Amino acid sequence: MDVQSEQDFPVTRTDEEWREMLTPEQYQVMRKHGTERPGSCALLQEKRAGTFTCVGCGQPLFISRTKFESGTGWPSFDTPVEGSVEESRDTSYGMVRTECHCSQCGSHLGHVFPDGPPPTGLRYCINGVALNFEPAE
Ligand SMILES: [Zn+2]
């Protein structure tokens, strides 16, 4: 599955440019729909106030107060910054899941599941390597 190629995003880079700007793990996750090892990302423990932005383009994706501990080993959020995260249907691995990606550069972020806390009831299960954290002043 290659969602990115079917759509134009405001920020586009060639495959070579992506390889240069991302670490091999980030490239695998963000451009090849990979999944980081659960519990492997330091951002899982990030509890300060601030903003999580896209590694691919810098767009703010999630704010810290929407982050919650899901026990999955991946940073989890119940609400994205409005307009920053787009969804698509992912039927890989014999499952039907909702994939989510950055609306600005198309980088894969993770998946959305309907078992999150109120009020949204959603769980955005995100690969921490796709995020940068900017602490609030
Ligand atoms: Zn992005």
Q: Using the mean position of ligand 1's atoms as its centre, give its distance from the Cα of residue 99 in Å.
A: 15
Domain range enclosing 123? 10-135
Identify whether 40 is part of a domain: yes
- Rounded distance, CA 57 to CA 19, Å? 14
Identify whether 5 is part of a domain: no
Q: CATH number, domain at 32? A: 2.170.150.20
Q: Using the mean position of ligand 1's atoms as its centre, give its distance from the Cα of residue 54 in Å.
A: 5
Q: How confident is the model at residue 1 (pLDDT cuts 50, 70, 90)?
A: very low
Q: Which residues are known to be catalytic? A: 125
Q: What is the mean pLDDT of the chain?
A: 94
pLDDT tens per residue, range 48-75: 999 999 999 999 999 999 999 999 999 9
Number of DSSP helices (H) and strands (E) in the chain, helices first: 2, 9
Q: Using the mean position of ligand 1's atoms as its centre, give its distance from the Cα of residue 108 in Å.
A: 9
- Rounded distance, CA 126 to CA 14, Å? 24
Is the pLDDT at 83 greater than 50? The verdict is yes
Identify whether 110 is part of a domain: yes
Identify whether 60 is part of a domain: yes
Instruction: Give how many domains the chain has, as a whole number.
Output: 1
Identify whether 1 is part of a domain: no
pTM of the complete model: 0.92
